[in-house]
Structure 1
């Protein structure tokens, strides 16, 4: 071995210094001890700047002591999980570093680079790994010249063909030689990437939900006034056609905002206990019409599948979105597999997948044998408006909706894809013990939309407030309207008659809709409440008022929809 005492002392204790600030090595045969200390260098994170100092007491190293140390060294060097290489700098005639020669490597190093010790030892770095690897030569030479350690990250795709990330720590060992320690940080990198991806999706979700809320405030008057005008000009076909186009454009825009709300986990869901096998089975005939004849559809339904609680209509839309994506990824045909299964997510899975929770789940897998996606594309698949399809062939909201629905249903979703192999989307939805529910009954038939009750209307958007007041007065209600929650409280205090219904926006400056409702309900316990919003907030679920007296209407809505909902609230209450 190409080792001297300095090499031995350094390698013997590298591992111990990763967990303790200093250590004193075992006594040598002559009674000398080796003390090595670690310090953190300023300006970098501790894991990136670990300095090792070696103090050797005594001057005499008998042969027996060297043999003893050599055996200890060999055991530690060979058993370290980190890859370690011992090398020396090669200088040209001008005294400048031009390469480095490898003197020894351990088994972990062999596994990382796919070379044997015999292939590595005695060869230059440029001969083994190409001149590109010499980009680190300047760093190594500086370590040797100054004695100061250096740390940097490194990524390799050497044999075996797998991308791995490492932190390299270079340490001077004397006589122009240095040690490089390769610590595998692939899993940590992957975890960090998942964490930042989850954070990014959370921020984008909040942004898109807020944008969708604002757009719904704009779309409500567009769609609402279009309906009001259409009622007055039904006998004028030329005008009617133009207004119908305005209304259609508004409705198409409202579909986009619903998709954005789905991604932001703010859509209005009607969850019920269901069997995924039944949902997928009901879609079988429809799926055959979506995909082309050269695509084979294989549905694999797990026996004794657990039950989950989700919105069945949205789950159907989720499957359709994924099937459409799979179809587009297989223009030359292929196989589309839809599979259900029971799954248990344990601690090991949760550690590897940020955002997942341990427990019992049912899984829904949609897999294709299409073109697949490169890693740089895969990193953006859930982002709204991101699409690899051509112009006019997609909005880029399909997978965003899927992501939002799964998250809003308390589940976890992951996508695996390889170019030329295909894509697999796996969704986990938590199981429940309750029996499968039958389809929810529709709203009771409303005999008339008109009424004589008094309604307190609170909406901070002037356009929406004006439209709602006009619609309600059209149906003969007495309307007390304001754009400010504080004014609404003043109206409630001063109005001596009965107020039968509070219609309020959810999100307003100052006092929110739920807070306003709580105050008014305390004074008027019999009052009904109708919340209106561009998206369904969690506050709607935790209203703080009696659920028997509160309902919800999502913007944008048609005038008749508003009148119907108001009548339902006053007569029966439908949430």
Structure 2
């Protein structure tokens, strides 16, 4: 396994136990052993990675058996290893296998020490250690740089001149030389019989390593032939498996490259040995800088983003202890940048066949967008809950304010000759008005206020606001406008829009105590699908944009996150209610628009209102109706006794005749008795299972009726999609006598005798839509 690419290693001759010897043959007997040499070379992939090892085992039993019957009976053939130890000796007692033979070649033939040292020997006649003379041939079997064994033939000098040798002469030298030549021929033939196929096998391995074809020795018999066939089969199987593994590797890399999740492989030391492109991208800073390793690129924190995540608590380390990890959330900070990534990690241990853990696989999902969506959803749910609470309180609170403000108004009229009491009455009236403003702002935030949108020119609204602001804002703040002359009409409630812009201007003023610039802008904008994808509450399309910018202190991120929450304020106690921005938010959302804040500390704030675009031209301004009373009969339905008595007093003061009912059932009984009346003035939210809209519908089925609704909280009885149903008149609580007189007169003066049944049809159509 430590060999280099292209290196071929050949072992010395070894004696290996036969796997299934005969039952009669003991394991220590030579018959239970076989002489072998091993040829080994490493195999590398195309990418240069170590793939495996090819090993060939050559059994030498058959060649050694042939040595027992040499060509000449007078010659003896020996096989020795690279140190001169006998591997085969014709006099060995175990069939020639020289296991534990008492002498070595160098001891028997001292003159051959040179041959053993440098593998070079010229055939010659030498003496043995006993003084006998032999003609000796020495043939090493070289394979590459290795010499695992050598073949030696020795012929006694007195045998070299017998028989046919006499014809060549009686010269000892000639006879000896001939004998040596014979020995060489035999040695070379034997060596080549082993070395040639082995060399061809070596060249075949080198060819395969270089990507060439597999060329194995042909007509190789015996063990070499078996080896060649086994090698060919092994190489074919290896190539097929290599191709399959390469294909699996390509598929694996394609999957890893395509995955949006970050995938890490961790070894037993906790070192990350693989990461896919998504993992690299996750730990790369916005400037494109990536650290050399995961550990040097990021630091990890618990889900709170503050508490450091201990190393042994990371998903990979926990998986290494055999613990499966699912949806473990933590925060990753890319070092050297402000990049923060919220991740959810899964991890599993990697086990070997015996069950031991050899690593872990960790998968990280970037859940930053999901966290942001959850944060927005939580914020929306919190605001919705506050809105529900606001709506429930507004009804009863506005009933009380109606009585307080109405009573204060009466006192102001009756106490003109008592200046001390007039001052008190004014304080009561001002306090009631402040309470009414707070309730209206809460309802605006909760998106429960009744809107009466019209097609308006936003440039005109902004210009009017600029004129109103000059004495309020102060000379230290410059007011500028950039109004697009081609801006489209907006479908919006003009009075609510004016209130929203005033609130934004006052907030901007407070953010610039030392002076600055206040800018109003208008423009047509298109919010496309990409914008809507990042702001799910937005419907893509054309909008009319009004932007209000200041050069003030700006908002910190934690302040910006809570800016729209009701009662949240950075002002000192008594300096603000915290309802200004929340009112703007609710009003724009209820109008099917969108609002966005951009703020940076010490650089100012910009609030953009995206208002729905009108489909037709600008509407004409409504006419102002003079306040007047009358003599008609009004059926008043109000469950709150204080409000009912106050309204009765006001109506009678205006000259109207009145009939009072505490709930819908009592009012319906009056209608069924045939009591004549000209106008049904009914509260919307009432106990008894019948609200004002249902009462009006029931009366309309009995007789034609004109209806004026009153309420401090409309729910959805006469309002759908944030707007009053067509043809509906609403007197909002708390109301003053002038408001009551104007709307009662408007309802009575309707020329078409519109019935509640007609509006009920409209209501059902709106609800269906």
Rounded to whole Å, the distance in 2 between the matches of 1:360 and 1:128 is 43
Deviates more, 1:58-67 or 1:134-143: 58-67
The 8 Å contact of residues 194 and 353 in structure 1, kept in 2 or not, is answered as no
1:171 to 340, 348, 351: 348
Structure 1 residue 535 displacement after superposition: 3.2
Rounded to whole Å, the distance in 1 between the matches of 2:725 and 2:375 is 44
Structure 1 residue 379 displacement after superposition: 2.4
- Answer 1 or 2: higher relative contact order, Cα 8 Å, separation at least 6: 1
Structure 1 residue 76 displacement after superposition: 3.8
Q: What residue in structure 2 maps to residue 439 of structure 1?
A: 621
Structure 1 residue 74 displacement after superposition: 4.0
Deviates more, 1:284-293 or 1:145-154: 284-293
The 5 A counterparts of 1:176-187 are 176-187=358-369
Q: What residue in structure 1 maps to residue 637 of structure 2?
A: 458
- The yes-or-no answer on 1:77 pairing with 2:256 is yes
Query: CA 1:142 to 1:266, structure 2 compared with 1: closer, same or farther past 3 Å?
Result: closer
SS in 2 for 1:437: coil
Structure 1 residue 192 displacement after superposition: 2.9
Rounded to whole Å, the distance in 2 between the matches of 1:571 and 1:146 is 84
Rounded to whole Å, the distance in 2 between the matches of 1:315 and 1:121 is 53
Rounded to whole Å, the distance in 1 between the matches of 2:726 and 2:262 is 63
Q: What residue in structure 2 maps to residue 530 of structure 1?
A: 708
The 8 Å contact of residues 382 and 400 in structure 1, kept in 2 or not, is answered as yes
1:49-102 Cα offsets, whole Å, 9 max, x none, are xxxxxxxxx999955554554444444434533222222354xxxxxxxxx323
Structure 1 residue 466 displacement after superposition: 1.5
- 5+ residue gaps, structure 1, are 6-57, 91-99
Rounded to whole Å, the distance in 1 between the matches of 2:50 and 2:396 is 72
- 5+ residue gaps, structure 2, are 1-46, 52-236, 352-356, 755-769
The 5 A counterparts of 1:80-119 are 80-90=259-269, 100-114=270-284, 119=292
Rounded to whole Å, the distance in 1 between the matches of 2:434 and 2:410 is 19
The 8 Å contact of residues 635 and 659 in structure 2, kept in 1 or not, is answered as yes
Q: What residue in structure 1 maps to residue 731 of structure 2?
A: 553
Query: CA 1:339 to 1:230, structure 2 compared with 1: closer, same or farther past 3 Å?
Result: closer
Q: What residue in structure 2 maps to residue 244 of structure 1?
A: 426
Q: What residue in structure 1 maps to residue 572 of structure 2?
A: 390
Structure 1 residue 534 displacement after superposition: 0.6
Deviates more, 1:179-188 or 1:138-147: 138-147
Structure 1 residue 356 displacement after superposition: 1.3
1:344 to 520, 526, 531: 526
Rounded to whole Å, the distance in 2 between the matches of 1:222 and 1:429 is 36
Q: What residue in structure 2 maps to residue 472 of structure 1?
A: 651
Deviates more, 1:396-405 or 1:414-423: 414-423
1:503 to 659, 681, 688: 681
Structure 1 residue 268 displacement after superposition: 4.0
2:327 to 134, 151, 161: 151
Query: CA 1:141 to 1:335, structure 2 compared with 1: closer, same or farther past 3 Å?
Result: same
Rounded to whole Å, the distance in 1 between the matches of 2:602 and 2:349 is 46
- The yes-or-no answer on 1:120 pairing with 2:302 is no
Q: What residue in structure 2 maps to residue 482 of structure 1?
A: 661
Q: What residue in structure 2 maps to residue 317 of structure 1?
A: 499
SS in 2 for 1:188: helix
Rounded to whole Å, the distance in 2 between the matches of 1:392 and 1:281 is 31
Structure 1 residue 524 displacement after superposition: 2.2
Q: What residue in structure 2 maps to residue 424 of structure 1?
A: 606
Rounded to whole Å, the distance in 1 between the matches of 2:243 and 2:458 is 72
Query: CA 1:119 to 1:520, structure 2 compared with 1: closer, same or farther past 3 Å?
Result: same
Rounded to whole Å, the distance in 1 between the matches of 2:266 and 2:299 is 13
The 8 Å contact of residues 685 and 713 in structure 2, kept in 1 or not, is answered as no
Query: CA 1:85 to 1:367, structure 2 compared with 1: closer, same or farther past 3 Å?
Result: farther
Deviates more, 1:283-292 or 1:462-471: 283-292
Rounded to whole Å, the distance in 2 between the matches of 1:169 and 1:127 is 15
1:404 to 586, 591, 594: 586
Q: What residue in structure 2 maps to residue 449 of structure 1?
A: 629
Report the structure number with the largest CA radius of gyration.
2
1:472-530 Cα offsets, whole Å, 9 max, x none, are 23444332212121111112112x442111111011111010110111122221x3211
**TM-score scaled by structure 1?**
0.78
Structure 1 residue 405 displacement after superposition: 1.6
Aligned pair count reads 505
The 8 Å contact of residues 101 and 123 in structure 1, kept in 2 or not, is answered as no
Query: CA 1:508 to 1:392, structure 2 compared with 1: closer, same or farther past 3 Å?
Result: same
